[in-house]
Amino acid sequence: MPTAVTHFKTNIYECLEALPKPTLDQLYREPATCLAIFRLLPPLARQLVMSLLFTQPISPINLTQSDLRLWVKNEAAALAKFDEALDKLSKLSIMTTDSTGYIQMNSSFRERFQDCLTGGGDHQSFGVPCERPAKDKPDITFLDRHAMKQWEEILHFMVGTESTRQPSAAVLKVVTRAKLMKEGKDKQLMITNKGFQFLLQDVNTQVWAFLIQYLDIADELLHMNVVEVLNFFFMLGSLELGMDYSVEALTPTQKQLLDDLANFGLAYRRKKGSSRYYPTRLATTLTSGNSAVVSSAVSSSTSTTTGEDGATEQGFIIVETNYKLYAYTESKLQISVLRLFCELQTRFANMVYALITRDSVRKALKHGITANQIISYLTSHAHPQMKKQVPLLPPTVVDQIRLWEMERNRLVATECHLYKEFRNQGDYEMVLKHATNLGYVIWSNARKRMFSVTEEGHEHVRNYIKKKIAQRKTNGGGVGEAGSGIGTPNNGSPSVR
Amino acid sequence: MSVLKDTATVNEDDANLLVLIIDTNPLIWTRSAKSTGLSLKEALRHLLVFINAHLALKHDNEVAVIASHVDVSKFLFPIPTPPRLSEDTDQVVDSNLYQRFKVVNDQVIGNMKDLFEDITTLNSYPDKASSMIAGALSMALCYINRIMRADEIGHIKPRILIISISPDSPYQYISIMNCIFSAQKLGIPIDVCKVHGEDTVFLKQAAHITGGRYLKLQIPQGFLQFLMITFLPDRFTRNYQCLPGEEKVDFSASCFCHKKMIDIGYVCSVCLSIFCHPLEQCSTCRTNLILASVNECGLKLVNGIKKLDKAKGRESGGST
């Protein structure tokens, strides 16, 4: 839910923002990519693009940033949204401010996105369908089942369920590179803390995380063109579920990609050399951005029809106010995910009964899983009956899980320097006052005449003391007697607050 | 009321349902084409791009298109049975157009053609200069109601946009008003874009009451641009944007008895029906009204106001 969605979005954003401008320009040559990237923008940015998209043919208008600012209400919240929107647009080099201060829309983006909306041009960016009808076309249920089977196989492999076969080389490369798994003692791959976090995400987020890692590999190891790979991802996102598309229209790189993506369950091909491919729901919902809806759509269609292993993905968890958790599932995968933060009590034919305890949650937190991840997992997998309640999860449980997380964060270590052995109270207070005014003091105790300052303040405070000592020397004695000084800095002793 | 759950607050992630009502009165469109150069065909091209833009904004945005014709209102999209797939199968998928855009555009164009080919009923309706806005609005509201009931988590935020071209039909005053109040109760904003001719008083009220936008198209060539800036923002973005719109709203009504537009009329004290002259019995709720009191003080009052209005140079109208 919220965390998961932002996680996914920032990830793909970061990935796109990191690309150099020429690469982005190349990306914007495909209308499908323009559409997909457009949908990743915040709402106000999308509206700004739309408002300016068709201005050019009528009359070229030059607008500055302050002109555009007049379009939003003069309220702090609205202006903040506006600034965020413009920032995102300029980072993706869709709209930039030129040297004269006018806002310019990226010309290739403008043209291609116009094509996208009006259906102009001959770019074939939305997938070339097969001309001949397929003999026995797989239906959508079959595709959903295929997608879930392939995807869960990867997840099963990660949790180490027995009887899973070794996944393909590409999958292995991605999981090791993304540090979801690492080699243990006996050359066996073991799941890492990051892997546990990964398991708690919803399917869409997982797929994106996977694809972004894959993009990294594709660039470095397989020497694929980043633009082509991204274009292919975004094209897949714009295809229609249940249709067959022609392999021939793809570039060699994309053909190679297709094989790997079929392994992940994003596409289906009857056999390796088949001339057509079918995108699955995992692929067609890639750019929808609303991951919760996606995962439930995938699972609801599978669960109603199959009733087999991976059918339990739709809401199946009931949480009670007394921390008891009932999960209507048989899937080993789901049970092992639950085991991450629950204490399993009893297992029945179609359901598992577990307890959420302090120890079990702390175990999960030690694995690096955050309270928000647990909560969002429980929310997105809640049983339909739970979904009728407002709020969805019992507030006591939600609060308690958060409190358990907070209690691990009671201590914060800060590097600091301790000053002690001041000759008299006056000196102590003088230096302390000076350091407090500059905001460097972390802790002080007047009775012991000790205080500690932060790392960056140390140099400053020491110089101040030296200066004072020097002044007194020239003034001829005075209060502080000799070189031992006003206070002794005790270097490098960290104090704990 | 399950339908009323949380219609007011709009989240960033909510899907938007846009119900587009296109006034397709052929007579007025011809007139518009002659005077401003904007024909129905041209306008439809702009509208299709606008629909695509709406669908492009978000993956789960939905659209419905209703034609409000001279004598009938009809769904152009979606319709229960997709049309004529067998005739041109090769056109089902176009690799140059996003599939969702294509489905919507093809159906809207196809159904619009069907609508214009079927001219048999054109002669029977009394008011040819008008269109069935009230019928189209009711269909839109019913459709929205159905979609919102099906959507359990209150995720879909609906709004209505009327592309209006014909003048007001006083015959439809009551039904339009009923639609407006239903829309207001359901929290559905009604936007109105007046493409040609005089302002419509009823629709202006509709936009005003439901919190929508009313805009008169000033540059016909820039139809799409007008749509994009004023009517494309979804309900979430509208919270932050200043949008153009009309400030002045004319609240005049039409009487229930002769469907005349009136500035001053008589209102039934029980059911609030409006009449242009005093009646002994209210034609709507059958209440017997005592006219003596009206004759004694009411008429004097009305006359007094009329005089007052005249004195003011008839600046504004109001109903008594």
**What HEC string does A403-448 produce?**
HHHHHCCCCCEECEEEEECCCCHHHHHHHHHHHHHHCCEEEEECCC
Rounded CA-CA distance A167/A170 in Å is: 8
The length of chain A, given as a count of residues: 497
CB contact under 8 A, B239 and A78: yes
Whether B187 and B271 share a structural domain: no
ipTM: 0.80
Give contacts of B94 with chain A, Cβ < 8 Å.
119, 126
Judge if A418 and A398 occupy the same domain.
Answer: no
Contacts of B12 in chain A (CB under 8 A): 42-43
Q: Indicate if B270 and B210 belong to the same structural domain.
A: no
pLDDT tens track for A146-163? 888 888 888 888 877 666
Within this chain, do residues A157 and A232 fall inside the same structural domain, yes or no? Answer: yes
Number of domains in chain B: 2
Task: Say how many residues make up chain B.
Answer: 320
Residue B139 has pLDDT above 90, yes or no: yes
**Same domain, residue pair A181 and A276:** yes
Confidence of residue B227 (pLDDT cuts 50, 70, 90): very high
CB contact under 8 A, B228 and A53: yes
In a domain, B244, yes or no: no
Judged by CB atoms closer than 8 Å, whether chains meet at A125 and B95 is answered as yes
- pLDDT beyond 50 at B23: yes
Q: Taking Cα atoms as reference points, which of B38, B33, B64 lies closest to residue B162?
A: B64
Closest A-chain CA to B90: A131
Q: Are B53 and B223 in contact (CB under 8 A)?
A: no
Q: What is the pLDDT of residue A6?
A: 41
The pLDDT tens digits of the residues spanning A267-310 come to: 888 887 788 888 888 888 887 755 444 444 444 443 333 333 33
Q: What is the CATH number of the domain that holds A419?
A: 3.30.70.2610
Chain B: give the shortest CA distance to residue A490, in Å.
Answer: 54
The answer to whether position B2 is within a domain reads: no
Q: Is residue B243 part of a domain?
A: no
Contacts of A470 (CB under 8 A, 6+ apart): none
Identify the pLDDT of residue A296.
43
- Tell me the CATH number at B139: 3.40.50.410
User: Does one domain contain both A358 and A230?
Assistant: no
Residue A189 and residue A220 in one domain: yes
Containing A379, the helix (H) or strand (E) segment is: helix A371-380
- In-domain check, residue A328: yes
The secondary structure element, H or E, covering residue B73 is strand B73-77
The minimal CB distance from B96 to the residues A73, A119, A290 is found for A119
Residue of B nearest to A287 (CA): B59
Separation of alpha carbons A164 and A160, rounded Å: 8
Residue A348 included in any domain:
yes
Q: Is the pLDDT at B101 greater than 50, yes or no?
A: yes
**B183 and B90, same structural domain?**
yes
| pLDDT grade for B308, boundaries at 50, 70 and 90 | low
Mean pLDDT for B275-291 is 82
In a domain, residue A203? The reply is yes
CA distance A476 to B58: 78
The residue out of A372, A407, A442 marking a domain boundary is A407
Low-confidence ranges of chain A (pLDDT < 50): 1-10, 291-313, 477-485, 492-497
Residues A259 and A382 placed together within one structural domain of the fold: no
Report which residue type is found at B200.
T
Domain end residue (candidates: B238, B267, B300) = B238
Q: Using an 8 Å Cβ cutoff, are B19 and B64 in contact?
A: yes
Size of interface A-B (CB pairs under 8 A): 116
**Cα dist from A363 to A148, A197, A238, A405, B274, whole Å:** 29, 13, 41, 11, 73
| Same domain assignment for residues B129 and B157 | yes
Same domain, B74 and B211: yes
A117/B contact by beta carbon, under 8 A: yes
Q: A262 and A276: one domain?
A: yes
Tell whether A129 lies on the interface with B, counting CB pairs under 8 A: yes
Q: In chain B, which residues have their Cβ closer than 8 Å to the Cβ of A38?
A: 56
Six token digits for residue B131? 């269109």
Q: Specify whether A428 is located in the same domain as A353.
A: no
B2 CB-near residues (< 8 Å, 6+ apart): B149
Interface subset of A 31-50, CB within 8 angstroms of B: 31-32, 35, 38-39, 42-44, 46-47, 50
Domain of B194 in residue numbering reads as 15-238
Closest-CA distance, A374 to chain B, in angstroms, reads 21
Inter-chain residue contact B96 with A238, CB threshold 8 Å: no
What Cα–Cα distance (Å) separates residue A311 from each residue in A294, A316, A379, A383?
15, 10, 18, 14
The answer to whether residue A301 sits within a structural domain is no
In 3D, which of A286, A396, A285, A259 has the Cα closest to residue A12?
A286
Under an 8 A CB cutoff, do B241 and A73 touch?
yes
A293, B60: Cβ pair inside 8 Å? yes
β pairing state of B156-164 and B73-77: unpaired
Of the partner residues A38, A119, A126, the one whose CB lies closest to the CB of residue B56: A38
Would you call A44 and B239 a contact, using CB atoms and an 8 Å cutoff? no
Q: Give me the number of domains chain A comprises.
A: 4
Residue B52, min C-alpha distance to chain A (Å): 6
Do residue A450 and residue A375 come from a single domain?
A: no
Whether B242 sits inside 8 A of A72 (CB atoms) is yes
Indicate the range of A195-204, B184-193, B243-252 predicted with least confidence.
B243-252
Mean pLDDT of B219-245: 87
Residue-range definition of the domain harbouring residue A463: 413-496
